[in-house]
Structure formats: structure tokens, C-alpha cells
Amino acid sequence: MQVALFIPCYIDQLYPRVGMATLEILERRGCDVVFPAAQTCCGQPMSNTGCNSDARPLAERFLEIFAPYQYVVAPSGSCVAMVRKHYDEFLSGRPGFEELKAKTFELCEFLVDVLKVESWDGVYPHKVGLHSSCHGLRELGMGKPSELVGVDFSKPGHLLAMLDKIELVKPQRPDECCGFGGTFAVNEEAVSCMMGKDRLQDHLSAGAEVLTAADMSCLMHLQGLSARGKMPLQIKHIAEILNESEAKS
Amino acid sequence: MKTAEHPEQASKFVANDQRAHWHDQALWFVREKRDRMAVSLPEWEQLRSAASQIKLHTVSRLADYLEQFEQNATKLGAVVHWARDSEEHNQIVLSLLQKAGAKQVVKSKSMLTEECHLNPFLEAQGIEVVDTDLGERIVQLRKETPSHIVLPAIHIKKEEVSETFHEHLQTEAGNNDPNYLTEAARNHLREKFLAADVGITGVNFAIAETGGLVVCTNEGNADLGVSLPKMHIACMGIEKLVPHAADLSVFLRLLARSATGQPITTYSSHFHGPSPGSELHIILVDNGRSNLMGSEQFRNSLKCIRCGACMNTCPVYRRSGGHSYGTTVPGPIGSILAPSRDSKAHKSLPFACTLCGSCTDVCPVKIDLHHELLEWRGEIHRRGQLPMSKTVPMKLTSWMMRSPWLFRWVGAIGKFCLRHLPRWAIYHGLNPWGKQREMPESPQQSFRQLYQIHESKKASDE
Ligand code: SF4
């Protein structure tokens, strides 16, 4: 199975370890993984600011770069949501676009839905809080949002629960936004930081030692607040936890 | 109307940390009640779909249904008036009041009359208008505007209510007992009801098939307000229509559950024509709504039944307060409706949102709120109303991202600076990220560099 890694720009530059963890997880599962070096950014910051004309050329590049591969996998729900949910405006009708949407996955989704992972040979003896990042949750449907009535599920939660000795803690507000929101974090700094601190507090009160999510951008914001507030919390992308647990076991 | 930008107003609200948290918790409490009520109906998601389809259908044939409504309401003995905008609406109300020789008016909560700024208009004509919904009355006495469409006084603490009542209704100073305060308000309002010449109400649902109206309240004030005077004026936006009486079974179940977490509002009052010996006037107001009808992007927002659930769930609204939006309808739906009237004045509202999507999932009529907000951002950019502080960085980033070598190069410089610059050069007034947050730690190598090492190692292993 051939997988092209889609490593969002800020992960490439600031969190290479998250990219490496993704790579190692996939390779260990027998995927033939490649990283197309021409990739940069999916255009989400421009699109979220309303600057669609600046996002368009990046969407076009993205299609060109990733069209040749069987699957595209990224450790980021929001960047995948950009491709699957918001590229229509730029690429609708182009050859290969419908296929691109269907073959682009967030890492947890890919593990659960495509690789059909049903057990994980890993040990992670920590109390872990899972932050359900909004774009993965609501745009990609990686879990059941708390507002909807139906059967509860969470793909990242499902993966974590497979780890031996892990204790998943439950915050009071199951899926409230952390306040990152891309340029919102800067544009509405006051509200953004209040939201982030509330999110951290909720997980701390639930007893979390490690806070994780399937989106590094939320974690970048929460990490920044937690470090400034000197909170007793480790912050890790879910790919890091999955990868570490396996390496140790 | 010039309004201050949302970030500025919101940061003022957040500055009072205790109050902002209290506000957040008060609304979250309502949101949780709503969740319990929604879960109690296994058919909840089907109800939402049904409501959405009925509304969508109504909006697509609104002209027909309005005509049908007018015919049927007239048959029942009501007089139907049409108002293109808020000025026309206010003029119609005034002429009706003058005809009735009215000096005192009681009103039950109507966001439409707020939208039209009816109160100041009538007061300038020497007419006393009393809002009879308790929350609305508190806000009115304090000379404020509602901060929420269903819970207009949610931003006010009971101690503050006590002060206001002490000042205006001569209640005991320092008595904060909600029962005592409610009783005082009740006695005060009773006098107003008895003295009123005309009762004005809003409308929750108007039924094309029958020509009837439904008004939902928890305090019964709409009923009292229109039963005693000889004239009832019902003011409604043209989107309040449903085709059939049977549709109410869907909407009444959704409305109160979504709004306050009650199974149904205490009073759902039906008005089919005037009561014997009195007059019923219905004013159908457009005020920008038909523009929305013509817009494919934003037409969905006309489905709104004004339950306020999107406000209760919105993490930004909860932490910035309704007044920070500077509009009659705040929160997610308000941030869509306001720019459709004046996108320049309200250009910051579609950005007062993290695009978390909770509003979309909570909305009982399935308005795709966060996607419409995103659409608005694009529209504001197209109209040239986005400030340069937003457009220029995006243009530059887009250019950089189109060439991988430039991206690598800028990334390397950025990482180097993050690692080596002194703290003061990174954390200063021009860096809003660093005000309360640390910057990410900068690694020595990027992923693409690590990947290359990984690949060459793999090749040499083989
Ligand atoms: S947009 Fe939806 S949730 Fe918000 S007030 Fe209207 S009906 Fe209620």
C-alpha cells in the first residue's frame, strides 16, 4: 500500500518529531511511505482569512503533487478537512480531484478505516486527556460531537483505548474548542487564550498528566499556554503517543 | 452605523476574568440542559432534518406562502400590513397607535422591534413603551440592550437586578432574593398591563394555511399584554412562516428544548384573528430578508427560528458577551445576519469565530452556521473590506508557499531566529501570540531534513 505523507507546513518546520512518528507508525504497518518534497502548505490560513484567491494556487499545487499516489495521510485533522471539505471551491471538476478527496486521510482515520487496526501492541502507563480537535471531530466526523444525538464514538479515542495501562480521563466539557482557530489565535488573542486556559484547566481537573490531540495546531496553542502557566502537563500529538507506546513495548 | 470591532470589545469583557467565567458557566449550564432534553428524544436528529426541510421549502416559495397567509389572516379579521424596512415598520406602528389614541403600550419580547429600534422611535413621539418580559424589562430599566435573543439579561447578575429594582421600583436595598425581586416586577408590570392602550408582540410562527400566529413565552406576558387592550399589533419578519398547522408539532418540540432546555415553553399562544371587539394588526417586515432569499450562499440563515442555541454553545459568545457583537442578534447567527445588512460596519463579526462548528451541530434547523461564516470572510475580502493587516500577510505567505525552496529557506531562518534571538526580540507588543503563550520550541532540523536522513539510512541498510 503506497502512502504519500502530507506533512503540514508548521509540522514540517516546528514539530518534525510528529512527522517522524507518523512515518514510523505507517512503515511498521507495512506501508510504502513517501514524502513528496514539493509540498508546502494546503492553503488553510488563507482560506480561513477569506483570501481565497491566495489559497487557490496552493490547492492547485496540492492536487498536482498528490494526485499520483494511492493514499495521502496527514497527522492533522484540520489540514485534511481543508482538502476534503474546502477544496471544492478551487478544484471542483478537475481531473483527479474527486479521487484526491476520497484518498486523503487524517492519520487516526487511516489507521481505523483503511488499515482496520483492531489492536495495538503498546504500553502507555499514563493518565491521558484527549482533546477532540474541532475540525477532525466535526468536519471529518472522527467522533460524535456532543451536540448530536446518536451512538458515541471517537476514532482517536478508540486507538488510545487499545494501549495497555493507559488511563483516559474525561473532561467535563467533552469537546469544547481550545480557542486556536488559526488566525483567530492572534486576531482575538484575549478570547483565544481564555478558551485555551479553560480547556487546560478542565483536563487538569480531570487528572490528566498528558494531553493529546490529532491536531498539532491546537496543541501548539495549548502548549504555549501551559508552558507560560507552568502547568504540570505534558503535551503530545497522538502519533507520538502511539509510536512511543509501541517502541517501548 | 459605526460599531467597534469585536476583538476590542471582547478583550474588555475578558479582562474581567471572574465575570467572563460566570457568563460562560451560566450559558454552558443552559447548553447542558439542552443536551439532556435533546437526548431524551431518540428522534431528535430526524426532527432537525424535518424542520430544516420545512423551512427550506418555505423559504423557496416564500412569496406564495406570504400571500396565502395574508388571505387567510384577513379572512379571520386581522389587518395585514407590509413593511419594506424598519422605518416603514415603525411608521405603521405609530400610525396605528395614533389611530387608537394610544399613549401607553405594553410589548412582549420581540427581537424584530429591537432590530427596528422601535422603542426609542415611539418614545420620541411621547409614547411610553414597556417591555413586559422580565429580562427585557430589567434591561430596559437599565437603559441597555438585550445581550441574548432568548435570555436578554443573561449578562446581569442578580445583585445588579436588585440594585436596578431598588432604584426604579423602590424595592429593599440589598435584597437579592430572586422570588422577592420577581414578585416586585410582577406587581409593577400588572399596573402597566392594566393601563396599556395597545399590546405589541413578536411572532414565533405564522401559519400560511390558517392565517394564525403562535407566540411562545414563559411568563404568559404576551397573552396578558394583548388580552386587556383593544388592539394587538403583531410584528414579524417575513421568514417566520410555516406552511401548515401540522408543522408546528416539529417546531414547538425543537424550539424550547434548543433554547432553554425545557420540553416546551410554558405558553404557546395561538392567535387566529382578533378577539371579539378588538383589532389585530399584523406587520410583515422585510428589512433585508429578501436580499438573503436571493443569495445562494446565505439563504439558509433565513431558516433560523431564533432559539439562541448557537449563542449558548458558542465558546466565543460565552466569553465575550452579547454586547461585544454590537448587533441586535449576536453570536453565530447574528454574525451572519449583520453583515448581510452592512458588511462594512460588521466586518469583524465573521472572524469572531474559531470555526469549531458547534453552532452548526446544535442548530435545530440545521443552518450550516460556521460554513456561512467562512463564506462571509471570503465575501468581505471580495468586497475589499478586509484590512491590509490581514490581506498582505496572506498574499506573502501564499507566494512563499508556492516555491518549496523559498519555504525551506524562510522556515530555516525563522527557526534560527526562534532559537537564537533574545527573549525581548520575540516577546513584545507586536507579537500577540507571545502575550500569554510561549512560542513553540524550534527544532534543529525540519521534517524534510529528518526524512532525507531516514531515507538514506534505509537505502544503506538494504
Ligand atoms: S441559527 Fe439555529 S441555533 Fe442559532 S438561533 Fe437560529 S435556529 Fe437557533
Interface predicted TM-score (ipTM): 0.96
d(CA B336, CA B364): 17
The mean of the pLDDT values for chain A is 96
Q: CA B119, CA B110: separation in Å to the nearest integer?
A: 11
Closest C-alpha to A129, from A225, A236, A228: A236
Is A180 near chain B, with CB under 8 Å? yes
Dihedral (Cα; B84, B90, B96, B99), 10-degree rounding: -130
**Could you say which of B395, B414, B449 has the minimum Cβ distance to residue A54?**
B395
pLDDT for B388 equals 85
- The ligand 1 atom at the shortest distance from the C-alpha of residue B308 is 5
How far does residue B357's CA lie from ligand 1's centre (Å)?
Answer: 13
Ligand 1 site, residue B364, Cβ cutoff 6 A:
yes
pLDDT confidence band for B378 (50 / 70 / 90): very high
CB atoms A147 and B401 under 8 Å:
no
Instruction: Let me know: does B321 contact B310? Beta carbons within 8 Å.
Output: no
> What residues of A are in contact with residue B42 (Cβ under 8 Å)?
149
- Nearest residue in A to B432, CA atom: A186
- Give me the residues paired with residue A74 across strands: A106
Q: Over pLDDT 90: what percentage of chain B?
A: 83
Q: What pLDDT does residue B423 have? A: 85
B97 ligand 1 Cβ < 6 A: no
Strand order in the sheet with B212-217: B241-242, B205-207, B212-217, B267-271
pLDDT at site B402: 85
Rounded mean pLDDT of B416-428? 84
- Kindly give the interhelix angle for B6-15 and B17-39, rounded to the nearest 10 degrees: 100
- Which protein residue has the closest C-alpha to ligand 1 atom 8? B307
Residue of B nearest to A219 (CA): B440
- From residue B310, give the alpha-carbon distance in Å to each of B200, B291, B304: 27, 23, 10
Ligand 1 contacts CB of residue B202 (under 6 A): no
Q: B424 falls in which pLDDT band (50, 70, 90)?
A: confident
The answer to whether A20 contacts chain B (CB < 8 Å) is yes
Q: How high is the pLDDT of residue B3?
A: 55
Residue B51 Cβ inside 6 Å of ligand 1? The answer reads no
Q: In chain A, what residues touch B445 (CB-CB under 8 Å)? A: 16
3-state secondary structure of A153: coil
What pLDDT, on the 0 to 100 scale, is given for residue B413? Answer: 85
Q: Do A54 and B432 touch (CB under 8 A)?
A: no
**B270 touches B214 (CB < 8 A):** yes
Higher pLDDT, B1 or B356: B356
- Residue in A with minimal Cα distance to B379: A50
Instruction: Answer yes or no: do B386 and A49 touch at CB < 8 A.
Output: yes
How far is Cα B147 from Cα B139, in angstroms, rounded to an integer?
Answer: 9
- Residue B255 Cα, ligand 1 centroid: separation in angstroms? 9
What pLDDT does B214 receive? 97
Produce one character per residue of B31-66: b if its CB has 16 or more CB atoms within 10 Å, e if not.
Answer: bebbbebbeeeeebeebbebbbebbeebbeebeebb
Report the share of chain B in percent with pLDDT over 70: 99
Averaged pLDDT, B133-147: 95
Shortest distance between the Cα of A95 and any Cα of chain B, in A, equals 21
> Looking at the partner chain, which of B358, B362, B411 has a beta carbon nearest the beta carbon of A13?
B411
More confident residue, B179 or B410: B179
Q: Which atom of ligand 1 is nearest to the CA of B311?
A: 4
Mutation target vs A (from B43, B410, B436, B442; most A CBs, 10 A cutoff): B436
> Are A189 and B436 in contact (CB < 8 Å)?
yes
Confidence (pLDDT) at A50: 93
Cβ neighbours of A16 (radius 10 Å): 20
Are the beta carbons of B331 and B325 closer than 8 angstroms?
Answer: yes
Whether the CB-CB separation of B181 and B158 falls below 8 Å is answered with yes
pLDDT class of B1 with cuts at 50, 70, 90 = very low
Instruction: Provide the shortest C-alpha distance from residue B50 to chain A (in Å).
Output: 15
Question: How does pLDDT run across B71-116, given as a tens digit for each residue?
Answer: 999 999 999 999 999 999 999 999 999 999 999 999 997 899 999 9
CB-based contact A19:A42 (threshold 8 Å): no
Give the A:B interface size as CB pairs under 8 Å: 223
Q: What is the pLDDT of residues B275-321, one digit of tens each?
A: 999 999 999 999 999 989 888 889 999 999 999 999 999 999 999 99
d(CA A154, CA A143): 4
From B208's Cα to the closest Cα of chain A, the distance in A is: 31
pLDDT confidence of residue B400: 84
Ligand 1 contact, B367 CB (< 6 A): yes
B281 CA to centre of ligand 1 in angstroms: 27
B333 C-beta closer than 6 A to ligand 1: yes
Q: How far is A16 from chain B (nearest CA, A)?
A: 4
Instruction: Tell me what pLDDT residue B65 has.
Output: 98
* Pick from B253, B247, B283, B284: nearest CA to B268: B253
State the distance from the centre of ligand 1 to the C-alpha of A248, rounded, in angstroms: 49
Q: What is the pLDDT of residues A150-181, one digit of tens each?
A: 999 999 999 999 999 999 999 999 999 999 99
Interface membership of A141 toward B (CB under 8 Å): no
Pocket lining: B305 vs ligand 1, CB cutoff 6 Å: yes
Instruction: Determine contact, residues A217/B35, Cβ cutoff 8 Å.
Output: no
Percent of chain A, pLDDT > 70?
Answer: 99
Helices H / strands E in chain B, number of each: 22, 10
* Cβ–Cβ gap A134/B374 under 8 Å: no
B320: chain A residues, CB-CB within 8 Å: 191
Helix (H, G, I), strand (E, B) or coil at B411: helix
Mean pLDDT for B189-212 is: 95
**Per-chain mean pLDDT for chain B:** 94
Burial call B415-446: b when 16+ CB within 10 Å, e when fewer: beebeeeeeeeebeeeebbbebbbbbeebeeb
Name the residue at shortest CA distance from atom 2 of ligand 1. Answer: B363
Average pLDDT of the residues in B13-36: 97
| CA atoms of A220 and A18, how far apart (whole Å) | 12
- Full DSSP string of B161-217: HHHHHHHHH-PPTT---HHHHHHHHHHHHHHHHHH-SEEEE--SEEETTTTEEEEEE
Query: What is the nearest CA distance from A193 to chain B, expressed in angstroms?
Result: 7
**Under an 8 A CB cutoff, do B414 and A13 touch?**
yes
Closest protein CA for atom 4 of ligand 1: B310
Q: Give the nearest chain A residue to B388 (CA atoms).
A: A51
Which stretch of A236-240, B18-22, B89-93, B382-386 has the lowest confidence by average pLDDT? B382-386
Per-residue pLDDT reduced to its tens digit, A73-128: 999 999 999 999 999 999 999 999 999 999 999 999 999 999 999 999 999 999 99
- The closest of B149, B216, B116, B449 to A17, measured between CA atoms, is B449
Residue contact B391–A52, C-beta within 8 A: no
What is the pLDDT confidence band of residue B409, given thresholds at 50, 70 and 90?
A: confident
Segment holding B45, helix H or strand E: helix B44-60
